[in-house]
Amino acid sequence: MRGGKKVVAWYSEDIPLAAGPERFDGLPGVILRLDVDSGTVVFVATTITASVAGADLRAPAETKAISRMEYEKKLDEIMGPADSLGRRMIRR
């Protein structure tokens, strides 16, 4: 139940991102189908496309070492603060 509505999600751990449609996320894999309130709203992933091949990823030419504190601050800016269990989730 979420906000008084029944929510059923189908997800894939083969895509290890805690992401989904709207504000639904936090599962151990990307949500591919989501049913809210017995069909009132249904989200379905129709295609999955890799946007970057692993072989195309390269380290930046210039890098700068930062402290753990700076790293945590940057994570807070990008993902928001960690929850009570220390987990962070990408927010869109």
What is the per-residue pLDDT for 2?
64
Distances (CA, A) of 68 to 6, 28, 60, 71: 40, 26, 20, 5
φ, ψ at 2 (rounded to 5°):
-145, 120
Check pLDDT > 60 for residue 73: yes
Q: How many CB atoms lie within 10 A of CB 58?
A: 6
Check pLDDT > 90 for residue 87: no
pLDDT (tens digit, 9 = 90+) per residue, 33-60?
999 988 899 999 998 877 777 777 787 8
Q: How confident is the model at residue 79 (pLDDT cuts 50, 70, 90)?
A: confident
Average pLDDT over the chain, rounded to an integer? 83
| Model-wide pTM > 0.75 | no
